[in-house]
């Protein structure tokens, strides 16, 4: 069954929202996979993944703080460490000792950090379009925020949409939905979230990731060079490395069925 949006209170007092999709057989104990979305996103961005995953796994989709229906953090409530703690506290709330974890872009970087800092809580890791930190990228994130502040999030995304997805592979209606859905997020939240993640570089700690890991990299990403993704393959011991040739950054939105089927195959191979 698919549940309505639920919530719990993080240890710093902020309300965090999540959704559970579970169509597994009720007589068996199904394993769980937690999905962590990208910046400027929400749990809704994984909607197309659910049909592929939820028959075999209980799917938990988190709204990261400042996104979707989760609370807007104060400056004191926003840190990169806190983003990882949110995932762990969600597991505590759900009574899960450990889980499979998958993240997209900034959500993938957060997921990597959870595997590094809380290795006993992560059974497997899947990282999509997520190098080991935005600090190693080629983008001017302060420039992003300035444009968002002056033009609005919807206009900024409309201008940069070709950097994010292959427009030949998505319907025009999807682009409109993607922009409208992203624009639901408050600019003030992004103004705290983006700079927090933009200074992160996990490269030196990647060797601490010991769980089975799958890295899926967009081969034509204008935001991150393929060499940045290669750092994950080089440093993580159990790493399956896959490149989606010719695709820009937002592979989890542009080719969601392909991404979800890839994840299902990976999870079943390590079940």
- The residues spanned by each domain of the chain are 6-269
Are 50 and 22 in contact by the 8 Å Cβ rule? The answer is no
Q: What is the phi-psi region of residue 20: left when phi exceeds 0, alpha when psi lies from -120 to 50, beta otherwise?
A: beta
Residues 6+ apart with CB under 8 A from 219: 226, 243, 244, 245, 246, 247
Q: Give the pLDDT of residue 164.
A: 86
Are 106 and 130 in contact by the 8 Å Cβ rule? The answer is yes
Average pLDDT of the residues in 134-151? 70
Mean pLDDT score of the chain, rounded to an integer? 93
Average pLDDT of the residues in 153-180? 88
pLDDT beyond 80 at 185: yes
Burial of 72 (0-12, 13-18, 19+ CB in 10 A): middle
> 3-class secondary structure for 250-264?
CHHHHCHHHHHHHHH
| pLDDT tier at 136, thresholds 50, 70, 90 | low
Residues 6+ apart with CB under 8 A from 138: 222, 223, 224, 225
Report strand pairing: 213-218 vs 99-104.
Answer: unpaired
pLDDT beyond 60 at 138: no
Q: Quick one: DSSP state of residue 119?
A: G
| pLDDT tier at 211, thresholds 50, 70, 90 | very high
Q: Quick one: DSSP state of residue 39?
A: T
* pTM (predicted TM-score): 0.94
Closest Cα to residue 4, out of 25, 28, 20?
20
Which of 106-110, 188-192, 217-221 shows the lowest mean pLDDT across its residues?
188-192
pLDDT beyond 90 at 271: no
Mind listing the pLDDT tens digit for each residue in 28-64? Answer: 999 999 999 999 999 999 999 999 999 999 999 999 9
% of the chain residues with pLDDT over 70: 95
Q: Give the pLDDT of residue 115.
A: 98
Mind listing the pLDDT tens digit for each residue in 63-89? Answer: 999 999 999 999 999 999 999 999 999
Average pLDDT of the residues in 122-134? 95
Q: Is CATH 3.30.930.10 correct for 6-269?
A: no
Could you tell me the strand order of the sheet in which 239-244 lies?
A: 6-9, 15-21, 58-62, 32-36, 99-104, 122-128, 213-218, 239-244
Give the span between the Cα atoms of 132 and 112, in whole angstroms: 7
């Amino acid at each position: 069954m698919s549940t309505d949006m639920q919530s719990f209170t993080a240890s710093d007092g902020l309300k965090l929202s999540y959704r559970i999709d579970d169509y597994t057989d009720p007589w068996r104990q199904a394993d769980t996979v937690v999905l962590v979305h990208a910046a400027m996103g929400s749990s809704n961005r994984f909607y197309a993944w659910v049909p592929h995953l939820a028959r075999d796994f209980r799917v938990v989709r988190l709204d990261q703080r400042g996104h979707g229906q989760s609370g807007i953090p104060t400056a004191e409530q926003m840190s990169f460490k806190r983003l990882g703690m949110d995932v762990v506290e969600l597991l505590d709330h759900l009574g899960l000792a450990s889980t499979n974890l998958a993240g997209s872009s900034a959500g993938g970087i957060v997921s990597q950090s959870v595997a590094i800092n809380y290795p006993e809580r992560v059974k497997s890791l899947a990282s999509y379009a997520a190098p080991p930190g935005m600090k190693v990228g080629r983008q001017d994130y302060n420039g992003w925020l300035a444009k968002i502040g002056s033009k609005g999030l919807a206009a900024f995304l409309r201008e940069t949409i070709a950097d994010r997805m292959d427009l030949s592979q998505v319907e025009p209606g999807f682009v409109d939905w993607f922009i409208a859905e992203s624009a639901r997020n408050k600019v003030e939240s992004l103004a705290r979230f983006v700079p927090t993640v933009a200074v992160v570089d996990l490269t030196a700690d990647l060797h601490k990731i010991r769980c089975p890991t799958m890295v899926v990299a967009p081969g034509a990403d204008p935001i991150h060079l393929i060499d940045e993704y290669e750092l994950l393959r080089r440093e993580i011991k159990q790493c399956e490395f896959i490149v989606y040739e010719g695709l820009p950054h937002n592979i989890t939105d542009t080719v969601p069925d392909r991404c979800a089927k890839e994840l299902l195959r990976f999870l079943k191979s390590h079940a």
